[in-house]
């Protein structure tokens, strides 16, 4: 089972309190920690998620805005407590290289 299927399988609300000055990269690390902990607690087998693939194949989106800049502050984007962030599939345009 790939990480993409696991992340899309359920709409899980991640209640995460971020410190002031937190960036998009900090949010990505928090998501990674949350899913890793959840998988190790509730599954008997070890599941390896390729987070490099997850971040390469999907965008994090908040209110229709793609979170492209990993160094952007969450407060500047408008992400606060109880904000919803979701994944959408990245689309490649013709002629675009990986």
Q: In this model, does residue 9 exceed pLDDT 60?
A: no
CA–CA gap between residue 43 and residue 85 (Å, rounded): 25
User: What's the pTM value of the predicted model, to 2 decimals?
Assistant: 0.73
User: Is 50 exceeded by the pLDDT of residue 7?
Assistant: no
For 18-72, the pLDDT digits (tens) are 678 889 999 999 889 888 888 888 876 677 889 999 999 999 988 889 999 999 9
Percent of all residues in the chain with a pLDDT value above 90, rounded to a whole number: 23
Q: What 3-state class would DSSP assign to 60? A: strand
The domain segmentation of the chain, as residue ranges, is: 3-89
- Pick among 3.10.20.90, 3.40.50.2000, 2.10.109.10, 3.30.365.10: CATH of 3-89: 3.10.20.90
Task: Specify the pLDDT at position 49.
Answer: 86
Identify the residue with better confidence: 10 or 14.
Answer: 14
Q: Which pLDDT does position 52 carry in this prediction? A: 93
């Amino acid at each position: 089972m790939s990480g993409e299927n696991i992340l899309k399988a359920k709409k899980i609300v991640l209640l995460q309190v971020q410190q002031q000055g937190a960036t998009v990269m900090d949010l990505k690390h928090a998501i990674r920690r949350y899913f890793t902990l959840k998988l190790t607690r509730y599954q008997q087998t070890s599941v390896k998620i390729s987070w490099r693939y997850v971040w390469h194949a999907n965008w994090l989106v908040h209110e229709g805005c793609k979170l492209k800049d990993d160094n952007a502050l969450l407060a500047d984007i408008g992400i606060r407590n109880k904000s919803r962030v979701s994944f959408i599939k990245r689309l490649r345009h013709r002629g675009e290289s990986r």
